[in-house]
């Protein structure tokens, strides 16, 4: 038994070392390949009308008897053929039908999806027709870095500058930088309980200077320029430095408010730029949004008289990326199982 125990321990260590080595190698290869092929990808277009028709047919097939289902399907096919024949006879190529282009943006602190947004908008603008087509952005973001969200908002301005109507739908949250993006839209639509606003700016960082002093550790920093560094994580911060950073943050806040005034001239920005958030219904009363509703309602309704396309930019994933993701998922699952076993049945895991 002692031999089996030692062998089991040796085997566990070996597996752990091999797994860790493979993960590191996969991560290194994935990173190298990612840098080599950065930016490469392709536009993926989904015709949502057809997708919704498939949903309906699946439900109909489940709830109706087979005979009725076949009759209805046959009648619809016949109707579509007749409509296409009539359009062809009248010389209508179908170009007159409105198109709605749907783009998704799920924001993080770095607004990482801005690159994909840029590609999607470029693709849409190559086909969108003035006076006929429209763009709908499904936006979800709690905000983040000012410069990153400023760039994302600038991408949306490209749609406005081409005289293409832009509708922004907020189902969950558009706060801070997310609301900066939302303001660019011609029409803002928010779900009743979506969080809207947070028109403010903040900067926060820890300071370890007192801890370093306790450990007799000196921190040296050499700069050129009075305000090259105002607040630091390790140095002793001064009231002058704090005052300067407060001035800079206030300037960014003023730029934020000016941006909103330009985008939504009827809104009382000074009253609402307090950093507070409001839920959709209250946000409409205050003028932060124009309508109450969900993106699903807008898209499904548009399918009645328009061709609706979901446009997305997808980066190409090589084998190393996929291997890295698989190993990462496996490691996460293993750690979660171990965590679950280490807790008693009376404890909750969050």
**pLDDT, tens digit (0-9, with 9 covering 90-100), for 225-278:** 988 888 899 999 999 999 999 999 999 999 999 999 999 998 999 999 999 999
Domain that residue 109 falls in: 41-198+276-315
Percent of the chain that is helix, strand, coil (3-state, to 5): 50, 15, 30
Whether residues 20 and 115 fall in one domain: no
In-domain check, residue 260: no
Residue 194 makes CB contacts below 8 A (sequence gap 6+) with 170, 171, 172, 173, 174, 279, 280, 283
Whether residues 18 and 128 fall in one domain: no
* Catalytic-role residue among 89, 228, 271, 345: 228
List the CATH number of the domain containing 80.
3.90.226.10
Whether residues 157 and 112 fall in one domain: yes
Indicate whether 339 pLDDT > 60: no
State residue 349's pLDDT score.
37
CB 240 within 8 A of CB 134: no
* Catalytic-role residue among 141, 176, 198, 263: 176
Whether residues 9 and 141 fall in one domain: no
Please say if 13 is a catalytic residue: no
Highest mean pLDDT among 17-26, 49-58, 64-73, 301-310: 301-310
In-domain check, residue 205: no
CB 143 within 8 A of CB 178: yes
In-domain check, residue 125: yes
Question: Which residue is listed with tokens 């760039």?
Answer: 151
Given pLDDT bands bounded at 50, 70 and 90, which one contains residue 72? confident
CB 111 within 8 A of CB 146: no
State residue 346's pLDDT score.
43
In which order are the strands placed within the sheet that holds 98-106?
A: 41-47, 306-315, 98-106, 134-140, 166-170, 187-190, 291-292
In-domain check, residue 230: no
Poorest-pLDDT segment among 34-38, 105-109, 269-273? 34-38
In-domain check, residue 348: no
Indicate whether 39 pLDDT > 70: no
Give the residue among 59, 62, 81, 61 at the shortest CA–CA distance from 71: 61
In angstroms, the Cα distances linking 279 to 258, 261, 284, 291 are: 23, 21, 9, 13
Whether residues 148 and 292 fall in one domain: yes
Whether residues 28 and 140 fall in one domain: no
Which helix (H) or strand (E) element contains residue 231? none
Which helix (H) or strand (E) element contains residue 279? strand 277-279
Q: How many domains does the chain have?
A: 2
Q: For 90-106, what is the mean pLDDT?
A: 81
State residue 344's pLDDT score.
44
In-domain check, residue 346: no
pTM: 0.76
Whether residues 325 and 297 fall in one domain: no
State the Cα–Cα distance between residues 182 and 142, nearest whole angstrom. 12
State residue 66's pLDDT score.
76
Whether residues 286 and 149 fall in one domain: yes
Query: Residue 340: what are its φ and ψ, rounded to 5°?
Result: -65, -40
More confident residue, 16 or 102: 102
Whether residues 194 and 115 fall in one domain: yes
Average confidence score pLDDT of the chain: 84
Please say if 342 is a catalytic residue: no
């Amino acid at each position: 038994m002692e031999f089996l125990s030692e062998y089991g321990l040796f085997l566990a260590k070996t597996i752990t070392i091999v797994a860790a080595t493979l993960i590191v190698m996969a991560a290194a290869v994935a990173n190298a390949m990612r840098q080599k092929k950065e930016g490469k990808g392709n536009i993926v277009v989904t015709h949502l009308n057809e997708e919704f028709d498939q949903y309906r047919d699946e439900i109909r097939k489940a709830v109706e008897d087979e005979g009725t289902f076949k009759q209805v399907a046959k009648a619809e096919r016949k109707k579509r053929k007749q409509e296409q024949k009539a359009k062809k006879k009248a010389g209508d190529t179908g170009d007159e039908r409105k198109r709605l282009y749907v783009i998704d943006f799920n924001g993080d602190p770095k607004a990482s999806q801005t690159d994909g947004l840029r590609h999607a908008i470029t693709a849409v603008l190559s086909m969108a027709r003035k006076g006929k087509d429209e763009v709908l952005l499904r936006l979800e973001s709690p905000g983040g870095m000012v410069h990153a969200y400023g760039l994302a908002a600038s991408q949306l301005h490209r749609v406005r500058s081409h005289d293409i109507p832009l509708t922004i739908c907020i189902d969950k949250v558009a706060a801070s930088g997310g609301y900066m993006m939302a303001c660019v839209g011609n029409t803002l639509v928010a779900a009743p309980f979506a969080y809207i606003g947070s028109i403010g700016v903040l900067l926060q960082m820890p300071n370890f200077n007192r801890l370093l002093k306790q450990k007799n550790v000196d921190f040296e920093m050499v700069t050129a320029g009075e305000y090259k560094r105002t607040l630091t994580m390790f140095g002793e911060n001064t009231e002058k430095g704090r005052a300067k950073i407060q001035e800079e943050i206030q300037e960014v806040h003023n730029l934020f408010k000016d941006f909103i005034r330009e985008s939504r001239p009827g809104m009382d920005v000074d009253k609402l730029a307090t950093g507070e958030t409001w839920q959709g219904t209250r946000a409409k009363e205050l003028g932060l949004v124009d309508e109450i509703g969900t993106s699903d309602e807008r898209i499904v309704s548009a399918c009645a008289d328009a061709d609706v396309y979901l446009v997305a930019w997808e980066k190409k994933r090589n084998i190393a990326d996929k291997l890295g993701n698989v190993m990462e998922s496996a490691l996460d699952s293993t750690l979660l199982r171990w965590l679950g076993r280490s807790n008693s049945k009376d404890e909750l895991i969050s």
